[in-house]
Chains A and B, each alone.
Chain A
Amino acid sequence: MSLVVKNLLKQYGSQNAVNAISFRVEAGEIVGFLGPNGAGKSTTMKIATGYVPPTSGEVSVAGFDVTTHPLEVKKITGYLPEHNPLYTDMYVHEYLGFVGRLYGIHGKALKSRVQEMVELCGLTIEQNKKIETLSKGYRQRVGLAQALIHNPKVLILDEPTTGLDPNQILEIRSLIKSISKNKTVIFSTHIMQEVSALCDRVIVINKGELVADDSLSNLMKLQGKSISLVVEFEGVVDDHELGKISGVNNVVKLDHSKFRVYVNEGADVRPEIFRYAADRKLSLLGLKQEEGSLENIFRELTAKQEA
């Protein structure tokens, strides 16, 4: 069940919220959808779920076009909206039952399915409460439970872990991981660790434009070109001398004795720096290698267009 987005364009007034984005997500893939606030992540998801019509371009889920066959798409899609709207005057069971019936689940099947969801999403203790009395974390679980109740083939989650405490984040994450088998999952997030914990592939958009669509390891490699070291000495050191060490590309002075050293691709200059310090009888206080982290990749990709 693939999700295909082709030349998707959404205009609000004269502003392009989403500007000619194309990508596809295959069955069984978990794709992380990244981008700064206002990049167009939520808009893309809202179009894919049929909530907002696109200005032009098309989105198809499992071969069904969202604009021409919305019902078929909605039947196989589970969606957790960004602000997780819920009917707060309903009880947990009542609400899940209502959503289940909307997907055409009836009678005993519905009852067992609701129970299953309650257990899967860790709602057992809170299952007999009204939704309005639940805390944010539990509401988020209810939102997730309603998105999963009809065993959707495609799961679209808009920032599923915002506002949760670290334990809850881990739980929700492992929940997504465990249910994602044989499903197409696309979720948006700001948390980079989440992406590395869950995703096979990352799609980064910025200001409505697609800036990266690649596997995590490829993106890491891309970033790997500019590995840097943070070196700290005891005493004053001339940064020009550091720059002369072979393999060093550039040196930035952070402090009178602290430097960020950019290294040429493939070079490991740590032994050289150690020898440099030993030759001058300087004490080396710190030597830390900073690998291309996802945060850096994110910053680099999304900063490009501002320049």
Chain B
Amino acid sequence: MIRVLTKEFNSFLNSLIAYVVIGVFLTGMGLLMWVFPETSVLDYGYADMDTLFSLGPYVFIFLIPAITMRSFAEERKSGTMELLLTKPLTDWDIILGKFLACFLLVLFALLPTVIYYFSVSALGNPAGNIDTPGVIGSYVGLALLAGVFCSIGIVASSITSNQIVAFILAAFLCFIVFSGFESMSTLNVWSANALLIKQLGILYHYEALSKGLIDSRDVIYFISVGALMLLISKIILSARSW
């Protein structure tokens, strides 16, 4: 697994992907956090990081599928899948290696935003007046969400040999799982089941985490969705339907 992870990560670094992903994410978030008046912390006047945590998921909806789309689709297209599958690796080695490489890259993109925490904290009045547990909870939530998005991207990539199809499918699925259930629950047909529908989506659990209370139920939700997605890709890969 480590071998596949290293190889995948190296190929991110050797191609432009890693730099573009990290650069675009940080530039985008930086502009939203500090420059654009509508979302800027400076204009907002409250020392919190809501901008990052409420808009971050939407940036991820586009960014993460772009990272994951090549993982299996490209290997299938170029035939290197045959190479990988005839080496002494289990299907899980390959899936987890690719998943973790993508996840790691997203975490690396997220890491520098920790600086925002210190900036916002210093800007508070009095300085240091920031909801630290809330920020930690939100970071945990955002990281878990990134993990789920990566696993969705891996599934989308494993079912097709076309990277564009993989990208669109992954972005769509990420969107549905993130806020689709929430929006669906507002339909006037569920009556008492509306909360259940809402709980199926990421947004419900993400918001719960961002309050600063790291509830094991929410964490388990994220891990189960991620695991389920990886399991689906394992089933697809094991079928060897080519």
Contact = CB atoms under 8 A, between A and B. Distances in A.
Contacts of B15: 89
Interface string B152-183: 00000000000000000000000000000000
A75 B15 CA distance: 30
A99 B87 contact: yes
Contacts of B126: none
Interface string A72-102: 0011010101010111110000000011011
A51 interface: yes
Given A81-B79, A85-B80, A101 B3 contact: yes
A53 interface: yes
A52 interface: yes
Interface string B21-55: 00000000000000000000000000000000000
B79 A102 contact: no
A60 interface: no
Contacts of A103: 87-88
- Provide the main secondary structure of the chain A interface: loop
A89 B14 contact: yes
Contacts of B7: 87, 98
A53 B240 contact: yes
A99 B85 CA distance: 12
B76 to A, nearest CB: 10
A111 B87 CA distance: 19
A101 B83 CA distance: 14
Nearest to A48: B86
A102 B88 contact: yes
B88 A75 contact: yes
B193 interface: no
A51 B89 CA distance: 12
B120 to A, nearest CB: 40
A51 B85 contact: yes
Interface residues of B, number: 18
Contact of A86 (B80, B81, B90): B80
B80 A74 contact: no
A101 B81 CA distance: 17
A49 interface: yes
A284 B181 CA distance: 92
A51 B86 contact: yes
Which interface residue of B15, B81, B88 has the most chain A CB atoms within 10 A?
A: B88
A71 B90 contact: yes
A53 B239 CA distance: 9
Contacts of A50: 85-86
Contacts of A99: 87
Given A81-B79, A83-B79, A52 B240 contact: yes
B11 to A, nearest CB: 7
A145 to B, nearest CB: 13
Interface string B89-103: 110000000000000
Contacts of B80: 85-87
Given A71-B88, A83-B79, A103-B88, A89 B3 contact: no
Interface in B66-122: 78-83, 85-90
A79 B79 contact: no
A50 B78 CA distance: 19
Contacts of B86: 49-51, 74, 77, 79, 81
B90 A85 contact: no
B121 to A, nearest CB: 42
A81 B88 contact: no
Which interface residue of B82, B86, B89 has the most chain A CB atoms within 10 A?
A: B86
A52 B237 CA distance: 11
A53 B89 CA distance: 16
Nearest to B14: A89
A279 to B, nearest CB: 66
B205 to A, nearest CB: 38
Given A75-B88, A89-B14, A81 B3 contact: no
Interface string A92-119: 0000001101111000000000000000
| Among all A-B residue pairs, the 3 with the closest Cβ atoms | A85-B79, A74-B88, A49-B86
13 contacts: A50-B86, A71-B88, A71-B90, A74-B88, A79-B86, A81-B83, A83-B79, A85-B79, A85-B80, A85-B81, A87-B80, A89-B11, A104-B88
Interface of B: 3, 7, 11, 14-15, 78-83, 85-90, 240
Given A74-B86, A79-B86, A101-B3, 12 more contacts: A51-B82, A51-B85, A51-B240, A71-B88, A74-B87, A77-B86, A81-B82, A87-B7, A87-B83, A88-B78, A102-B87, A103-B87
